[in-house]
Structure 1
Amino acid sequence: MKKNMSKNVKFLLKISISLLLIGVLLKNINIKDVMSYIIYFDKKYILVVIISYTLSLIVNGFKWKILMKEVPFRHLLNLNLIAQFYSLILVGQVSGETAKVLFTKKFGCSIEKTIASVCVDKITGFISVITIGIIGMFFTNNHIESIKIALITILIVLLLSLIILKNSYIYDKINKCLIRFETKSKIVKPLRKTLDSWIMYVEDTKNIYFSIFLGIVFHLIGVTSYYFISLGVGFKLGIAEYCWIHAVLSIALFLPISIAGVGVRDLTFVGFLGYYGVTSSNAMAVSMIIFIINFVVGIIGGIINMYYLVKDKNIKTKLSD
């Protein structure tokens, strides 16, 4: 009862934060102008944006496939779409990643191995997006120096997280510490298995490098789509500028402080695009179009989710008969 109450409080808090941020933004934005930019979006860029998002989904599927070789690619692609659905309706990206773990179990993968793969996939993804963010900052003279320092610091921490646990001495120390508590807690044994799977993944340096490379490709496609959305709305901003804005946005959206990134995404775009002289209405239009695209992708994920659930139910019914 208390657990459900706590979840409800957190959910309401996130809705409140989203509404508060949107409310603050709308005070300084002409919503009619925003809707006008969306309605009269330049049609010649629609196909380019759709192709960009489709390619990014495919690349992201291949990126996870590097780690989850035993699961067919089409299912990994579907699971990424399902993750988008749960990220949309629940508490953010954490919900999406949890859904990936639970659904992957249906394909014969252990939860421990899947958790490790999702963690490694997420970390290499952050390394990729922060890398292009830092590179973008070096290609533009007009950026915020403190953000560059923050991105470099986060990148170093992420790289160290891959390297430190790969070290056999540190691994042995952690493993021995966990063994001591194995009889006292049920969670320790699965935790050890997850750690073993983590080591298996990070020791394959070739796959880690390839995963980071595909992550860079994935995020560059995303940045390119931002560029064309901007053109469709009626203004132009360079790819380099969008690289570091996208990096900051990716970190902000991972924090579970709003519903589906609403408010956080908008504030990020309005704030940082405004730094380059883009009007708040233009920036808000870009943010809303990106949300609409993510919403459509999430709905597709929801349909696939229903298909898997119905399929599982039918299988169980046949087995019981």
Structure 2
Amino acid sequence: MNKKKALMNLLKVAVTVGILYLIFQRFDIGSDDIIKAFQHQPGWFAAAALMQAGAILFSILRWLVLLNGQGLRVPFGHAVRTFMVGRFLGTFTPTGVGLEAYKAWDIARYTGKAEASVSVVLIEKLIGTFFSLGLLVLITLPYFAAAIDNRALMIFGSFFGVLLVIALILLFQPGLFRLLLRFNFPGKGKIEKPLERIVAAFTVYNQRKGSLLGAVALGFGVYLFWFLTYYMNSLALGANLSLLEVLKVGPLTQIATMLPISIAGVGLREGAFMALLQALGTLAADAPKDVAASVMLTASMVYFVSISLNLIGAVIFLTRRTDYKAQMAQMKAER
């Protein structure tokens, strides 16, 4: 590990520990409050795991829809195994990049079409973040208008509005981005090839817009089940949150966890979740420490529920054969 990477990891640890320390200090949370929260109704954690499984299922279905749109026929069972192994590997990589990398690598080997496999992963990421999550952020942002400075709100809203417009163009008129390349501008050389690759990937779906729209719809399902995981955790821990409150703060909390400045989003998730609930007026600044502990753990347990399901991927990873010799021979024969 080089010095730069080691320093970045130390900074992430510092951010994670620092935010959690501030939360504990701010609400005077102690070990007794943690224990009390876990003793509330722990049976709801099973429901949280089911919600997380629902998010996984919708993610796999979204991926399959996009694969089919590229003409890549992958059996459902194979997609499930690949996805779960990718989730397991993603546990140890920043922002889950291991999941996307493994998906692209495995399907490239399985189908013999590396470029199409990588394109699908790229498109899925753009649809999931730029469109589905971006739209949810814009829908929920007005709920925080009273608590956020108007200028900051305008900047934040404009940023996600631009992302949404970009996503809409990519979905329905990707060729418009080629017009940009007719002009000379600073940094053109750096973005020309990646932009061409993105446009080419989306252009494949010009005659298969149903695949893109289906992927967008499934993307909303992914996030709904993620937010339901929070809600089930809140029932288990006695946080007294309504489903509507969780849905309001969910999108912005999800954005916070994507910032690569903490360990797996830990600390950022809790800090954003609690700050947003305070902005809504749901969590009082002087909330009892046992209530604050329950709310904090509602966010924390999303991570632990998620990685508990990753153990399935670990088992598959250790037992799966991935030489694909028979499959690759069949692919060659069909060409």
> Does the 8 Å CA contact 2:51/2:225 hold for their aligned counterparts?
yes
The number of equivalent residue pairs is 306
1:170 maps to which residue?
Answer: 177
Matched, 1:24 2:18: no
In 2, Cα distance between equivalents of 1:163 and 1:130: 11
* TM-score where L is the length of structure 1: 0.78
In 1, Cα distance between equivalents of 2:88 and 2:217: 26
- With 231-240 and 62-71 compared, the bigger mean Cα shift is at 231-240
Letter in 2 for 1:161: I
RMSD (Å), alpha carbons: 3.6
Deviation at 1:151, TM superposition (A): 6.0
> Structure 2 vs 1, CA of residues 39 and 170 (structure 1 numbering), >3 Å: closer, same or farther?
closer
> Structure 2 vs 1, CA of residues 134 and 109 (structure 1 numbering), >3 Å: closer, same or farther?
farther
Deviation at 1:65, TM superposition (A): 0.8
1:6 maps to which residue?
Answer: 4
Letter in 2 for 1:21: I
- With 139-148 and 211-220 compared, the bigger mean Cα shift is at 139-148
In 2, Cα distance between equivalents of 1:76 and 1:96: 12
> Structure 2 vs 1, CA of residues 67 and 142 (structure 1 numbering), >3 Å: closer, same or farther?
same
Letter in 1 for 2:158: T
What fraction of aligned residue pairs are identical, expressed as a percent? 20
Deviation at 1:67, TM superposition (A): 0.6
Letter in 2 for 1:83: G
In 2, Cα distance between equivalents of 1:252 and 1:202: 33
In 2, Cα distance between equivalents of 1:26 and 1:130: 31
1:229 maps to which residue?
Answer: 233
Query: Which residue, out of 147, 157, 162, partners 1:157?
Result: 162
In 2, Cα distance between equivalents of 1:47 and 1:257: 30
Deviation at 1:66, TM superposition (A): 0.9
Matched, 1:277 2:276: no
2:67 maps to which residue?
Answer: 68
Matched, 1:257 2:261: yes
> Structure 2 vs 1, CA of residues 145 and 117 (structure 1 numbering), >3 Å: closer, same or farther?
farther
- With 249-258 and 111-120 compared, the bigger mean Cα shift is at 111-120
Letter in 2 for 1:35: I
Q: What do the CA deviations read for 1:97-117 (whole angstroms, capped 9, x no partner)?
A: 233322332322534323322
Alignment of 1:25-64 (within 5 A): 25-28=23-26, 29-64=28-63
Letter in 2 for 1:153: S
> Structure 2 vs 1, CA of residues 238 and 195 (structure 1 numbering), >3 Å: closer, same or farther?
same
Q: What do the CA deviations read for 1:61-110 (whole angstroms, capped 9, x no partner)?
A: 10111111222223333333333323322222334323332233232253
Letter in 2 for 1:236: N
Q: What do the CA deviations read for 1:203-262 (whole angstroms, capped 9, x no partner)?
A: 633222221111112212222232222122113323332223211122122221122111
Matched, 1:118 2:115: no
Letter in 2 for 1:16: A
* TM-score where L is the length of structure 2: 0.76
> Structure 2 vs 1, CA of residues 201 and 15 (structure 1 numbering), >3 Å: closer, same or farther?
farther
1:319 maps to which residue?
Answer: none
> Structure 2 vs 1, CA of residues 32 and 173 (structure 1 numbering), >3 Å: closer, same or farther?
closer
